[in-house]
């Protein structure tokens, strides 16, 4: 198994410098990743391995904001055992015992203590696993000790009231230590977290999933989260089997991708192993990435 590289890719969105940090690799069942799309179609975009899994990334976004570093999603963390990591094909070990996310921060010249704000799109283990970390003594603590964390109130309720279908994705060790430390703030609907960084409800993958809109100096970037996990998922009906409300995902995608094309947004793909971002175009049949400018 190979970790997707490069570890860090940086660019500007308006006046803000942003860094996409690849918090590790992940391999998931290709059929589950593409829902009702038949394999002969999806494997032309992302080939499957001998266990029918496809290579994914776990990209987080670090934004250098005048009010402090803002981190969007945190990868899978360092608390899971070998068996779990094998099932989900997670390869994210960091040089210092934490994860690739912390390695990426180091490469940028930032420390975990420097992160002022953490925003979670939702609380699934591959998005909020790095909200906390376990030290050598077995203590689980917030991974960003000086940060305020943000997630939707409804997502927190959903994560703490699981059923047989949803339980496999939510582990309290990923977020309860942050709640216990009084560091989680729960968001209702849309909200500007700091100037130019706004959380936007994008339901479907989970009922209270949110995405992040960055608006600076006339440019807009949009961190999709699991609304559209890779650039291969741009066609409207290419929706993950993991989504709990796939028809809601469809309508959210329709609305967001239309606005992204109309307003020339830079879309940021969390799970794409190779493509960090791009702008979309509808060619009459479907959405696809425009050539990079
Ligand atoms: Zn995900």
Distance in angstroms (rounded) separating the CA atoms of residues 149 and 172:
15
Distance in angstroms (rounded) separating the CA atoms of residues 230 and 37:
15
Going from the Cα of 72 to the center of ligand 1, the distance in angstroms, rounded, reads: 13
Q: Are 120 and 169 in contact (CB under 8 A)?
A: no
pLDDT at 270: 98
Q: In this predicted model, what pLDDT tens digit does every residue of 62-118 receive, in sequence order?
A: 999 999 999 999 999 999 999 999 999 999 999 988 999 999 999 999 999 999 999
Give Cβ neighbours of residue 195 (< 8 Å, ≥ 6 apart): 65, 66, 67
pLDDT confidence bin for 3, thresholds 50/70/90: confident
In terms of pTM, does the model score above 0.75?
Answer: yes
Going from the Cα of 160 to the center of ligand 1, the distance in angstroms, rounded, reads: 18
Distance in angstroms (rounded) separating the CA atoms of residues 246 and 238:
10
Going from the Cα of 119 to the center of ligand 1, the distance in angstroms, rounded, reads: 14
pLDDT at 187: 97
Give Cβ neighbours of residue 87 (< 8 Å, ≥ 6 apart): none
> Comparing 292 with 169, which gets the higher pLDDT?
169
Going from the Cα of 63 to the center of ligand 1, the distance in angstroms, rounded, reads: 20
Going from the Cα of 266 to the center of ligand 1, the distance in angstroms, rounded, reads: 19
| 3-state helix vs strand vs coil in the chain, percent to 5 | 25, 30, 40
Tokens for 52, please give them. 């029918």
């Amino acid at each position: 198994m190979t970790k997707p590289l490069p570890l860090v890719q940086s660019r500007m969105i308006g006046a803000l410098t942003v860094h996409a940090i690849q918090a590790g690799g992940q391999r998931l069942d290709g059929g589950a990743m593409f829902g009702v799309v038949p394999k002969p179609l999806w494997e032309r975009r992302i080939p499957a391995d001998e266990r029918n899994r496809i290579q994914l990334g776990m990209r987080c976004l670090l934004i250098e904001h005048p009010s402090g570093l803002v981190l969007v999603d945190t990868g899978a963390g360092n608390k899971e055992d070998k068996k779990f990591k094998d099932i989900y094909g997670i390869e994210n070990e960091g040089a210092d015992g934490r994860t690739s996310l912390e390695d990426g921060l180091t490469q940028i010249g930032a420390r975990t203590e420097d992160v002022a704000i953490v925003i979670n799109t939702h609380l699934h283990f591959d998005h909020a696993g790095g909200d906390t970390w376990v030290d050598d003594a077995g203590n689980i603590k917030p991974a960003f000790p000086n940060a305020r964390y943000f997630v939707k109130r409804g997502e927190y309720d959903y994560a703490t009231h699981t059923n047989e279908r949803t339980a496999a994705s939510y582990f309290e060790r990923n977020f309860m230590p942050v709640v216990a430390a009084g560091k989680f703030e729960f968001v209702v609907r849309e909200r500007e977290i700091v100037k130019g960084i706004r959380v936007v409800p994008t339901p479907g993958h989970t009922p209270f999933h949110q995405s992040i809109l960055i608006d600076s100096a006339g440019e807009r970037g949009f961190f999709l989260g699991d609304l559209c996990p890779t650039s291969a998922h741009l066609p409207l009906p290419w929706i993950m089997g993991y989504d709990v409300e796939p028809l809601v995902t469809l309508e959210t995608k329709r609305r967001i991708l239309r606005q992204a094309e109309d307003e020339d947004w830079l879309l940021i793909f969390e799970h794409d192993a190779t493509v960090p971002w791009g702008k979309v175009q509808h060619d009459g049949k479907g959405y696809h990435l425009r050539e990079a400018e």
